[in-house]
Amino acid sequence: MSGLLALLDDVAAIAKVAAASIDDIATQTVKAGSKAAGLVIDDAAVTPKYVTGFKADRELPMVWRIARGSIFNKLVILLPILLALNYFLPWIITPLLMLGGLYLCYEGAEKVIHYIRPQDPVAHAEHETGDPAKLEESRVAGAIKTDFILSAEIMVVSLSVIEVGGFWMEAVTLAVVGLAITALVYGGVALIVKADDIGAAMHQNGRLGATRAFGRGLVVGMPPFLAVLSFVGTLAMLWVGGNILTHGASTLGWPLVYDGIHHWAVDAGNMLSGARGFVEWFVTAALDGVIGLLIGLIVVLVVTPFMRGKAH
């Protein structure tokens, strides 16, 4: 009996450790996911454009293929590479993070330039002709390549804030983060790309006037919603990219800008103590976004002539 009680006590202890580990993983997953929220918004804003122009019955299969490619990017390629780098060369994570932040600033600045000076759609029409099957393959491949860059940044950002000790705990947490974010992004993308079809069906077949009106509202509202989502995604890229660069510079020994932003945000929060948390976040995000835009514009000025020369 004493042996049985001892065994049950050991089982209970193991269960407590397992429960604590699961709780740690869940906590770190939420923390990492919130840190990568800006990237998630941008990922959700970018992906729908890859399935526009195709028949309705091809939209969800394309989203599913892109989602599978995203999971492969995160779990098969990026996860082992990042864990190995974090284990053997932990100092390289911050420079990699800053490199990704630089890319986000570049992409965000390019989008701002396109908002100001829209591109001629005719200039890109030549890439939208030909065999639909080949066009689908090209679109899916392009989406997966874009996802790889965003996934790399999401995984690096997530790894940088994981505080759970132990190699395997970090691996499991990072894998859960990757799967959860992929499900969130591409589940949202699937709803977005099918919302107009759902709305059209409700408008045409709804028995109630409210149902038909809601369906029509979906159809009419999706284009402006996508425009707003794209705009928010651009702001998120600049905000996250600027924050990554300022925080990385502080980590590497140049804290002037990061500390200055923090002090300004705290001062602004003290002036409006009733909404201190929101004000501090807003000021920090706004200043990080301005820095991200300025750095991104510099990168655009440097990279654009090189890209034009390579094209010729």
138 burial (CB, 10 Å; 0-12 / 13-18 / 19+) is middle
Cβ-based neighbours of 178, under 8 Å, separated by 6 or more: 71, 74, 75, 78, 79, 151, 154, 155, 158
For the chain, helix (H) and strand (E) counts, in that order, are: 10, 0
137 vs 127: CA distance, rounded Å: 13
Nearest Cα neighbor of 140 from 76, 233, 67 is 67
Q: What residues in the chain have per-residue pLDDT under 50?
A: 1, 4-5, 7-8, 10-23, 122-126
pLDDT tens for 176-209 read: 888 888 888 888 888 888 887 888 888 888 888 8
Give the separation between CA 95 and CA 289, rounded to whole angstroms.
20
Q: In the 8-state DSSP scheme, what is residue 165?
A: -
Tokens of 2: 């004493």
DSSP conformation class of 54: S
With H, G, I as helix, E, B as strand and everything else as coil, classify residue 23: helix
pLDDT value for 129? 53
Contact indicator for 32, 173 with CB cutoff of 8 Å? yes
Task: Centre a 10 Å sphere on the Cβ of residue 254 and count the other Cβ atoms it contains.
Answer: 12
Residue 156 CA to its chain's centroid (Å): 11
Long-range contacts of 132-138 (CB under 8 A, 24+ apart): 132/54, 136/54, 136/58, 136/62
State the pLDDT at residue 164.
59
Question: Phi and psi for 129 in degrees, rounded to 5?
Answer: -115, 170
pLDDT of residue 80: 93
pLDDT value at position 311? 54
In single-letter form, the type of residue at position 15 comes to: A
What was the pLDDT predicted at 171?
84
